[in-house]
Amino acid sequence: MQGKKEIDPVIKKPGIYFVGSYKFKMIKKTTMFEQGEYDIIKINKPTEKEVLEKLLKYAKDTIWKQRILIRLKELDR
């Protein structure tokens, strides 16, 4: 089921979705036989534009390259 949290958006149509940048923060340190406890913290970097610029290098001449370029133009407005 989608749409439960900020990092789990409801996807209505195919495309590129940026849900933000996050890092894991350890809440409880455990032994190697226990599962650790973590929280997810929203951070400011990398931005959507920075991520798309990195992905562009790998898109080559695919449909994704065009979609990334369109989204980058939208972000520059």
| Surface-to-core class of residue 48, CB atoms within 10 Å of its CB (0-12 exposed, 13-18 middle, 19+ buried) | middle
What pLDDT was estimated at residue 38?
85
Per the CB < 8 A criterion, the answer to whether 66 and 52 are in contact is no
Q: What sign does the CA torsion over 40, 45, 50, 54 have?
A: negative
What's the pLDDT at 52?
97
Domain positions in the chain: 21-76
Number of H helices and E strands in the chain, helices first, is 2, 2
Query: What is the pTM assigned to this prediction?
Result: 0.74
Residues 6+ positions from 46 with CB-CB distance below 8 Å: 21, 54
* pLDDT tens, position by position, 22-75: 998 888 777 778 887 888 899 999 999 999 999 999 999 899 999 999 999 999
